[in-house]
Amino acid sequence: MNLPHWLLTVGAVSTSFTSLAVTPQPDPQNPTGYVLLRSEVIASEQAQTSDPMYAVWANALATAPNSAVDLIDAGAANNPSNVKRAERVFPRSEWDFLTQMAAPEYTYQRFLQAIGKFPAFCGDYTDGRNADAICKRSIVTAFAHFSQETGGHIAIDNTWDNPLALEEWQQALVHVREMGWSEGQPGYTTGCGQNDWQNKRWPCSPNQGYFGRGAKQLSYHFNYGAFSEVMYDGDATVLLNNPALVADSWLNLASAIWFFLTPQAPKPAMLHVIDRTWTPSQREVDAGIGYGFGTTINIINGGIECGAQNKDKGQPVNRIRYWEGLSAHYQIPIEADETNTCWQQTPYGSLNLNGATDVLYTNWEASWKYHADRPGGVSFECNLVGYQTAYSALVPGDYEKCVTNFFGSHANWPEVRIVDVIDGGTGGGTGGGTDGGTGGNSGDTPVGVITWEAGITNVNVGETVIHNGKCFTAKNAPGVWETPTQSNWFWDEVACP
């Protein structure tokens, strides 16, 4: 499984960290730059992500390798345990019952593959929670939203278009592409090509359209890029270059599972509302936000569908009707503290949670706090914020990228390089082996090959590096954080000399 490196250490990190300390030094290789000790940078990151919820998020977003996902099929003896649970509580007969109008690109096998990619979906619990019941509720919740996002919306008495007299909540997954769009049409390219951090991280490909595809109708390049990073070991270019995969492969359902498991801080992950891992903050409680299906609407589309002004609006009324029909059919109990609606909730986009001490955030931004003991008073650190930035606390290596301003998102930020050792000294024992970092190579480095180190090694096109015992040749100029781990847009794996 792929996990952020801090998941492995968060249990040992003290939550009593009251201050952070990095000691920037002049960079001997750059007269206008500075170097930071990697061990101090890691300590800064870990101090800010020591709350156990960060480990929960990491577990939820852990992924199985695609090679294992490819082997998943209904009834296969070697299916992962979470897939077997999904088959048990939602067998093929139930899938067929809810997908009689579905597009052929959606299949039960692909549904199971999407679940198998994310072991936390329909996963186990060790604290007495009923994993089967949570799995069933998660699937039914997903189908309620599928029915709104990609459903047929045909009345049961419309016998011409609905000859089987299907309930509207039985009409999920009718559309695999957004209506009015087809492959080969450039579109949804707003912002593409601009000189900003979103395009540096997730560059649009020429003549591609990033319109809605799949069960959740994934849209826009920054969402295709982020999803591609999760699905392809950090490589954003796979789906940016070929977004049609989100319609024509098992990614059409995996994209929805990914959204289901991903917190959009300060919004929680939908799974953690359902399984109650999440506890609403006091400000959320005061804004009417708590447990129940209504909060999942707020997570998906609160700005348009939640609040008193949207009480009778078509979209939320439909979602609630679909959920109530599905939950009644599948006999899912509604607890006393759960609310199906969100008209009584403040939309998350209108809820100011900045400064709340009981809210966690998942995006890094440069800390602009003044430090008199550091060059120029600059912090040389990043802190967590409640809005989208170039760097996510849930993506391994993003904190170091934030500190070095890898995507140029912090105006007037000093030039920073991260090293394991400063001036021949020691690195404090925690600098090596970070995710995407300098885990070291076994044996002598071959002649003409560069030992690759994260944040340090700059190579030109055609040069060869060695990392973790494997050699890679740069085919497009990689940055110092483009880890050579597989053949991708930046690297080709080659035989070592």
Q: What is the pLDDT of residues 195-227, one digit of tens each?
A: 999 999 999 999 999 999 999 999 999 999 999
Instruction: Please state the rounded mean pLDDT for residues 333-358.
Output: 90
Position 445 scores a pLDDT of 61
Look at 146 and 470; give whichever has higher pLDDT.
Answer: 146
Whole-prediction pTM value? 0.80
* Domain covering 436-497 in this structure, CATH number: 2.10.10
The pairing of strands 30-37 and 25-27 is: antiparallel
Q: What is the pLDDT of residue 20?
A: 58
Q: What is the pLDDT of residue 486?
A: 75
pLDDT at 440 over 70: no
Asked if residues 215 and 106 have their Cβ atoms less than 8 Å apart, the reply is yes
Sequential DSSP letters for 366-400: E-----TTSGGG----EEEESS--SEETTSTTHHH
What number is the average pLDDT over the span 161-168? Answer: 96
User: What integer is the mean pLDDT of 362-383?
Assistant: 94
**pLDDT tier, 6 (very low <50, low <70, confident <90, very high otherwise):** very low
Span 279-301, mean pLDDT? 95
Strands across the sheet containing 391-392: 382-385, 363-366, 391-392
Amino acid residing at 458: N
| Active centre residues (catalytic) | 149
Task: Give tens-digit pLDDT for 445-483.
Answer: 676 788 877 767 878 888 888 887 788 888 877 776 788
Alpha-carbon span 437 to 38, nearest angstrom: 10
Hey, what CATH topology would domain 55-278 get? Lysozyme (1.10.530)
Q: pLDDT for 393-420, tens place per residue?
A: 999 899 999 999 999 999 999 999 999 9
Condensed to tens digits (0 to 9), the pLDDT of residues 31-50 reads 999 999 999 999 999 999 99
pLDDT in the model for residue 452: 79
Q: Are 122 and 131 in contact (CB under 8 A)?
A: yes
pLDDT tens digit string along 18-30? 345 899 999 999 9
Residue 305 confidence class, pLDDT cut points 50, 70, 90: very high
More confident residue, 9 or 178: 178
CA distance 497 to 494: 9
Backbone angles phi, psi at 35, to 5 degrees: -120, 150
pLDDT score, position 96: 97
- Four-residue CA torsion sign, 440, 441, 447, 449: negative
Per-residue pLDDT of 128-144, as tens digits, reads 999 999 999 999 999 99
pLDDT, averaged across the chain: 88
The DSSP bridge pattern shows strands 450-451 and 464-467 to be parallel
**Lowest pLDDT segment from 141-145, 347-351, 436-440:** 436-440
Tell me the per-residue pLDDT of 96-140, one tens digit each, with 9 for 90 and over.
Answer: 999 999 999 999 999 999 999 999 999 999 999 999 999 999 999
Share of the chain above pLDDT 90, in %: 74
Look at the block and give the residue holding tokens 């000859």. Answer: 163
* Ranges of CATH 1.10.530.10 domains, the chain: 55-278
Domain with CATH 2.10.10 in the chain: 436-497
